[in-house]
Structure 1
Amino acid sequence: MLSTLNSFDTHLLDGAPRSGLRGAPRFLLEFLYFGVKNARACLFVGLFFGAVFLTPRAGLFGVPRYDVLLVAAVAIQAGMVWSKLETWDELKAVCLFHLVGFALEVFKVSGAIASWSYPDFAYTKLWGVPLFSGFMYAAVGSYIIQAWRLFDLRIRHHPPYWMAVLIALLIYANFFTHHYIGDYRWYLAAAALGLYARTMVIYRPLDRDRRMPLLLSFVLIGLFIWLAENISTFWGVWRYPNQLGAWSAVHVSKWSSWSLLVVMTFTIIAHLKHIKASIHVPDA
């Protein structure tokens, strides 16, 4: 299994020129590889959601569902490190996402806020939050780490790091403070828009470099997280208050929240040593 995956990755990373490929066939093949590489980068996400779909709500062998999902998430993460699909430094970043996400979950499910809830019993539940929930945030970081390698990502015109860190901290703080002093999400989105307006992602879907505004990637990743959230709530992993009686789609406004969370996640990833080497910050 591992050797097959390594062989597949070697094929995906093969940037040998395909000089005879042009026009519509080139577009279609590059689009195909773009999709395949993104799917491959979602390895942790795919395996974890597989566990979500396959685990009955009643759990397995007398073990509650949330506890089964925690075991599955830890096993997947350990497997990725053991197989060297993620390094120890990358694991540290993923653990940071886990802690940041878990702290946010504890706040959001608290009795005073009650933005959503985890209705099922679990032994590994702290302050109303099952421990597996932090892995859902870590999955976003895992995707970006894997995509960075598979697409040979490089960043041009990244803003000064102190500015990126400041906006990331303000975004995270707003998830808490908007319950008390107002929601400044759109002001922060405007600030991020100005900060990253010139920032471009250089990526390689096949054998040629392509360019994309970094802001567009934030929005696209946020969209897919929103879609995954709809699937998770439909499966009853957690529920918003308006979904307790009968399921309904998660409000589209959550898309903007997830896109801002991606900005924060990207900022953490950008500080990894081997990734920082591929980021260009202008002198002025």
Structure 2
Amino acid sequence: MVNEKLMLRSDYVRSVVVALVAGLLWVLIVASSASWAGTQAGTEIAAVNRISIVAMAGIVGALLAAALRPTVIAVCERVEISVDEAALGTKVPVIVSGVVWGVVSVPASTPTSSPHAALVFLALVLPWIAWIDQRVQRIPTALAYLAASGTAAMILLTGVVHGTWGAVGRALLAGPTAGVVFFALAVLLRGGIGIGDARLTVSLAMVLGYVGWTALPAALVFSILTAFVGVIVARVLRAIRSEPARSHIALGPYLVLGTALALVAS
């Protein structure tokens, strides 16, 4: 029987290195951009500096996401997910990670509006998870645990840098709570919600919990709406192509998209 939890030492090392680099760069971005905003606010130089931060963040984010690709492929092969089937040669997750890194670095010009470090880490992992789930309707356990552990570590880093320990405590409570609720729903409903979705929810709920309790139900509503729209679009496209309709949908991408929309709305 395949052990989905198995990761080799090289996978752990690569993941830890990527997380450390992501955390360090987040600290540098927040510190440098806040300093520039305080000394050069409203000047042309400040605008150029902000653009430079966004561009560098996008490039580095894409490179770090690409650095995770060998671990993603190894994990998929270990749980018998075909690399060809999952289309892991695609550049879509890498591009998405770069774009998200650029976007989240925009409000980092002031300490009060800077995003927490968990966002830049999840931006490297979630595109891979969502892409795999969309292709094969399965979330590898190892990647879900990697997302959860990395998110918790980055939440703590945010607390150290900004001193927002109340938000950190709320995030660390929201993650496991949401995971237990979704796990119970997965067992009771026996379909629609998978165990992998419950594991993924832990990471997403921690990010939302840091923002506030109201972000959690907002993300759920957005996830349901985007899933509804996604199912309609998918069925229309399959009907046009004369392809058979799927009885199940991958919920992971919609949970991720709903979380992103809730964060934007917050």
Say whether the fold is shared (TM-score over 0.5): no
**Which one has more relative contact order, counting CA pairs under 8 Å at least 6 apart?**
1
Answer 1 or 2: which has greater helix percent. 2
Answer 1 or 2: which has greater strand percent. 1
- TM-score w.r.t. structure 1 length? 0.37
Which structure has the greater CA radius of gyration?
1
